A and B are shown apart, each in its own frame.
Chain A
């Protein structure tokens, strides 16, 4: 299966700062990438879908100005949490989906803690 690298694995930041999370598809041309958020003991909640070279599509209730997504190439997508607040603390996971293989491959996730 595809190898998806996500960094950092965990980050602690102060309230009001911005945090960038990177998601790289190492051996797979990822035309579409998904960003999920997961709270403890809950399932994955889709935040946004990004297609290479175009603007991301955000799910209802997700602030696009707060969660900036950039999918500039077929191998890299970034999620920037701007002006983070404690309620943004969560586990963020990216996934990739190709054009031929429709199943999702996931990164290892990023645990964000905002103090």
Chain B
């Protein structure tokens, strides 16, 4: 069974204080690992897709990396507007379903 865990559950940072969020996964044949951002009361917003170990992608202050067992979302010099819940999901090769992790609630204080 495909599984996704995320840590920490919640993270408080001061503005400018860089950190990383972790996503650990087990999947039967990884088709893709996805990162999403979700603001309260809204649907998730797509950030990145990673397909194979060693792959990295960047967007503004965010950088996502992937190994065979986990992915990291690095946030550099965060701003208050980066506050949100960050969700990680995987899609295995043997099904079309996406399995989501519980998310990390990030708060960036000014």
CA A4 to CA B101, docked complex, whole Å:
22
**Is there an interface contact between A44 and B44, defined as CB atoms closer than 8 Å?**
yes
Chain A proximity of B32: nearest CB distance (Å): 6
Which of A102, A106, A111 has a CB less than 8 Å from the CB of B44?
A: A106
The 9 closest A-B pairs by CB, nearest first: A106-B43, A43-B102, A44-B100, A109-B43, A106-B44, A43-B100, A93-B43, A108-B43, A107-B43
**Is there an interface contact between B101 and A103, defined as CB atoms closer than 8 Å?**
no
**Is there an interface contact between B102 and A42, defined as CB atoms closer than 8 Å?**
yes
Within 8 A of A (CB), among B39-55: 41-46, 49
Which of A6, A41, A49 has a CB less than 8 Å from the CB of B43?
A: A6
Q: Which of A1, A6, A44, A49 has the most CB of B within 10 A?
A: A44
**Is there an interface contact between A111 and B41, defined as CB atoms closer than 8 Å?**
yes
Q: Which of B43, B100, B103 has the most CB of A within 10 A?
A: B43
Inside 8 A of A91's CB, which chain B residues have their CB? 41
Would you call the interface of chain A mostly helix, strand, loop, or mixed?
A: strand
CA A102 to CA B34, docked complex, whole Å:
10
The total of chain B residues at the interface (CB under 8 A) is 22
Q: Which of A42, A43, A49, A93 has the most CB of B within 10 A?
A: A43
Which of A32, A44, A102 has a CB less than 8 Å from the CB of B32?
A: A102
Question: What 1/0 flags go to A16-49 for Cβ under 8 Å of B?
Answer: 0000000000000000101000000111101001
**Is there an interface contact between A105 and B41, defined as CB atoms closer than 8 Å?**
no
CA A104 to CA B42, docked complex, whole Å:
15
Task: Sample 23 A-B pairs with CB under 8 A, ordered by A number.
Answer: A1-B46, A32-B96, A34-B97, A43-B101, A43-B103, A44-B44, A44-B100, A46-B97, A46-B98, A91-B41, A95-B43, A102-B32, A102-B91, A103-B34, A103-B46, A104-B44, A104-B89, A105-B46, A106-B43, A106-B45, A108-B42, A108-B43, A111-B41
